[in-house]
Structure 1
Amino acid sequence: MKQEVVGLAKVMGKGVPAIFDSNTGHAREEEELYLVQAWVDGVNLQQYLKRPLSIEGALKFTLSLARIVERCHGSHVLHRDIKPENIIIDPSGELFLVDFGIAWLPPDDREGDHATRAGQELGNRFLRLPEMAAGQPRDDPRSDVTFVVGILFYLLTATYPRTLSFGGNGLPPHRHLREAFPVATRDDPRMLRLTSLFDVGFQFTPNFRFQSAGRLIERLEEILDPMPTESTAVMTTAIERYQEMMREHETAKRHTILMSMREAAVAFEQRIRTLAAAQHIEPIMMAGSPLRENDAWVTTIRFRQITGGTEVMAYQKVQLDGADVICTSRVDGTPCDYYRGPAADSLRLIEEVGRHSGAFFAMVLDAFVRKVASRRSFLKLIE
C-alpha cells in the first residue's frame, strides 16, 4: 500500500484519481493503514463496452489512455496491470486509470523490500505478456504500451486479446481473431493502418514493439487522419505479400525484417522503371540491385536520357537502425530522408517507399531540366 501511495502521488493529474490523505508515511507497525482518494463516479471499461466501438471512437479513447500512460512513464512509474477493469469512465466520458497496486517504482522511491516474490507472474489475464513471466526483470515500460494496444483491440472487437501468440502458427490476436472485428471495421480503409499498428504492437519480443507511449500516440493520431488515396493500391499489394508473423527467435525475425526491406527496395525499382519508360529515360541499375550492405538495401541508378544523352546519378537506401527502418534517397547530390518507422511494420514501409517513388522521380526530372538548361547557357556563352 505504501508503494501505491507513492506511485499515485508521483503521477497525480488528469486521468488519475487524486490523493487527499494517507498515513502510510508515518503509521506505526500495529496501526491500520488508510488512503483517502477522489471518488470517480462511473463504470469500468468492461461494464461500459456493450459492443465494439467505431474506429474513430476507439482511437480517441485509446489516445486518452496512452497520454495518461505517457505521463506515468515520464514520472518513472510503470502501471503493469492495465486492463478494462482498471479503467473507469465517468458520466462526462473522461477516463481514469486506477489500481496502482503492482506498479513499479524506481529504487529510490521504494520503502523496504516490496518486490514480487520469486516464481510469481505479473500482469493480468486480459493480455499475458512473456516479459511478465517469473524470472524476468518486469520493469519494461514497453509492457504498459502493449497493454494499451490490447485495449485498442478490445474497443474494436469487445474481445480480450489474451495472448500475443495463438497456436502453433504463433498468430497475434488481430490475425487469429480477425472475425471479431465488425464487418464495417474490416471494410474501412483505415483497417489497413490498424493492421500495421497491431503488427508492431503485438510483437512477441519487446524490441520490435512500439518503444514508447509517445511512438504509439504518433501512430494513433496518424490513423485518425484520412489515408492518402495513392497508397491504397500499394497497401493492397503489400498485404498480399506480407508473410506470416515473425517467430520468437530473434535471428528469424531479423531475417524476416531484412527480407521485407528488400521487397520494399524491389518495389521501388519496379515503380521507377515504369515512370522512367513513360518519359523515355533509361534507368541503369547497379548489378544485383538492390545491393545488400550490412543491414541496408541500396539501389544505385544512373538515369540516361535516351535522345539527349544527359545523365543523372541517384540512389535509394532502406536501412535497419535498431527497432526502426530508415529510408533515404539522393538525386544528383540532393539528399532526402523521407521515412522512419518500426522495423516490424512492413506494410507501412512498402506504402511509404511506393509513395516516395513519385517524388523521387520528380527530383530526377528536375535534375535533367537543370543540366540541360546549364548546358544551353554554356553553349550560348561560347557563341
Structure 2
Amino acid sequence: MADDTTQEPAGHKLSAGQQIDGFLLGERLHQGGMASLWQVHWADPSQDTTGGMSLLMKVPRIKGGEDPATIVGFEVEQMIMPRLSGPHVPRYVARGDFIRQPYIVMEHLPGETLKARFDKAPLHVDEVTEIGTRVAQALHALHNQHVVHLDIKPSNIMFRPSGEAVLVDFGLSRHDQLPDLLEEEFSLPMGTGPYMSPEQVQFVRNDPRSDLFALGVLMYHLATGERPFGQPSSVSGLRKRLYTDPVPPRTLVPTLPRWFQEVVLRCLEVDPAQRYQSAAQLALDLQNPDQVALTGRAEKRKTASSFTTLGRWFKAMGAEPQHNGTATEQLDKSPIIMVAVGVKSSTPELDNKLRATVRRILQIEPGARLACVSVMKINRVGMDKLTDEQGNSLHVTQLVAIKHWARPLQQGLGMNDQRLTFHVLEAPDTASALVEFATRNQVDHIVMGARGNSAMRRYLGSVSAQVVAEAECSVTVVRA
C-alpha cells in the first residue's frame, strides 16, 4: 500500500506540532499528488514579519525516491515566488532548501478555488464574463512581472474577499529573467491536458498568449459545461488541438451572445498571432462587450469540414513552433493606448495636435489597442438632463462626436474595429473618471489635450494635471 504521508528527503514524516525553521505545523489542509499544504504559525510570535497574516506551508510530496518533475517544479516555484508581488498572487514569506526540508511559506488565502464553480456549469454568461475579466486582469499583472503561468486551470485560481483573482502554483511557470529548469531537463509538453495551448504542445514556454488560450478554455467550459478539447491524456491527443476546431459555444448553448463566442473562439485560435495579444486587451473587451468587433467567429455553428481538418493536419505535422520572444517583449508590442477626447472643451487646433500625437504613437506601436474616451459630466446630487432640446440622447451624441473625432485616424492608419473602441463615461469629476478607467482597463499610456493656462485653472488645478498626478501609467499632455 502506498504511503500518502509527506516525507522529508531523509524519509521523516511531518506531523502537526512539528517545528520547521521557526514555523509550527498545524493542520494538514490538503494532500495532493505533487505537494501537501499545511496551516502553520510562527513558533515565536515576536518573529512575525507579516502583521499576523494567516500562513500556509507548501511541502513537495517525495515518496519512494525523488521524482525529478516534482523536485524541479518545486525549485522553479521557489525561485519565482519571492519575485512576485501584488494582490493577484499569494504573499511570499519564506522557503527551505532540499538539504534539510524543502518548503514554501506563503499567505493563506481563505475560501475555495475556482474548481468549485465548475460543478455548477453552465453558468450565466454575465457570471462567466465577470470571472474571465478578473482572471485576465490577474494574468496581465503576472505577465508584467515577466512570468508566464503555463498552468492556468480552475484549481490554480482563487479570489480574495475583495474580488481580485489570485493565481497560485507556479511550478510549471516560466520567468523571463530566470533559468527555465523544466525546459532544460525535460522533453515532454508541460501543462494540464485540457488547458494546454498548441504552442505548449510544441514545447514553446515563453509566450504569455498561452495563458489566454487556457483562459479561453475556462470560459468555454463555464459557459457550456463542456471542455472544448476534451481531456486528452496522450501527446497525440494533445496535438489534435493543432488542427481541429472546438464546437462553437453557441451550438451547445444557443442563448450565448455572439460577442461572447467571438471572444472565446479568438482566445482558442491555434496561431497565437490570431488571439488577443495581451490579457489587458482581453479584459477590455470582456468589460465592454458592446465594443467587441464581430467576425466570422461569432457566426460559426459547426466545426471545419473533414477535408479542411485533413489539410490542417498535414500542415501541423511539418510545422515548426514559433518562438516569439519573452513575455515582456510580447506585452511591450501590445499596449493599450487611451486618448481622452474633450468634445466640448477642445478646439480644432488642439484636436489636430492630439490626433497627430496619437498617430505617431500608433505608427510605432502596430499591435496597440486604442480606446477613445470622453467624459460626460453629471451632477453629484440631483437630476441630470439626459436629452437635448430635440430629444436626442446626450450620451449617444457624445459617442458619435468621439467617433467622428477618430475617423481621420482610423482611415489614415487603416485601423480595423478590433483595434479601436469608444467609451463615454458619465461622472461628476472628469479627471477621476479618466484615471479610474485607465486603472480598471490596465491602460499603458494616456494621451490628452490641455487648454491654455488661466488664473482660475491655475488656482483650481487642471484636469490634465490631476491625471498626471494620479495615473499609474505614462501620460502625454498635448497643447495647441
Provide the alpha-carbon RMSD of the alignment. 4.5
Q: Structure 1 residue 88: deviation in Å?
A: 2.1
Q: Structure 1 residue 196: deviation in Å?
A: 1.7
Residues 197-231 of structure 1 deviation map (CA, whole Å, 9 limit, x = unaligned): 233211112222222212212221221x4889xx9
The percent of aligned pairs where both chains have the same amino acid is 22
Amino acid at match of 2:192: N
Aligned length: 252
Change in 2 beyond 3 A, CA 1:161/1:2? same
Report the counterpart of residue 3 of structure 1 in structure 2: 76
Amino acid at match of 1:109: L
Distance 1:2 1:125 in 2: 22
Map 1:131-210 to 2 at 5 A. 131-133=199-201, 136-162=203-229, 171-175=244-248, 178-181=250-253, 186-187=254-255, 191-210=257-276
Distance 2:300 2:182 in 1: 50
* SS of match in other structure, 1:37: strand
Identify which of 299, 303, 320 aligns with 1:239.
Answer: 299
> 5+ unaligned residues in a row in structure 2: which ranges?
1-73, 231-236, 316-364, 371-406, 422-480
Structure (1 or 2) with the greater helix fraction: 1
Identify which of 170, 186, 191 aligns with 1:123.
Answer: 191
Contact 1:201 1:210 in 2 (8 A): yes
Report the counterpart of residue 79 of structure 1 in structure 2: 149
Identify which of 130, 134, 142 aligns with 1:64.
Answer: 134
Report the counterpart of residue 22 of structure 2 in structure 1: none
Report the counterpart of residue 116 of structure 2 in structure 1: 47
Amino acid at match of 2:137: R
Change in 2 beyond 3 A, CA 1:32/1:193? same
> 5+ unaligned residues in a row in structure 1: which ranges?
253-320, 349-383
Q: Structure 1 residue 62: deviation in Å?
A: 0.8
* SS of match in other structure, 1:22: strand
Distance 1:137 1:179 in 2: 32
Identify which of 254, 269, 277 aligns with 1:211.
Answer: 277
Correspondence 1:35 to 2:104: yes
Residues 46-74 of structure 1 deviation map (CA, whole Å, 9 limit, x = unaligned): 22332322222211111111111111111
Distance 1:53 1:241 in 2: 20
Amino acid at match of 1:340: N
Distance 2:300 2:205 in 1: 37
Choose between structure 1 and 2 for higher RCO, CA contacts under 8 A separated by at least 6 residues.
Answer: 1
Distance 2:241 2:142 in 1: 36
Distance 1:143 1:22 in 2: 28
Change in 2 beyond 3 A, CA 1:36/1:203? same
Change in 2 beyond 3 A, CA 1:20/1:157? same
Q: Structure 1 residue 325: deviation in Å?
A: 12
Distance 1:143 1:162 in 2: 15
Distance 1:167 1:133 in 2: 10
Q: Structure 1 residue 33: deviation in Å?
A: 1.8
Distance 2:369 2:164 in 1: 36
Change in 2 beyond 3 A, CA 1:124/1:167? closer
Distance 2:270 2:292 in 1: 28
Distance 1:104 1:226 in 2: 33
Report the counterpart of residue 13 of structure 1 in structure 2: 86
Report the counterpart of residue 277 of structure 1 in structure 2: none
Distance 2:301 2:225 in 1: 29
Change in 2 beyond 3 A, CA 1:30/1:91? same
Amino acid at match of 1:115: E
Change in 2 beyond 3 A, CA 1:324/1:209? farther
* SS of match in other structure, 1:99: coil
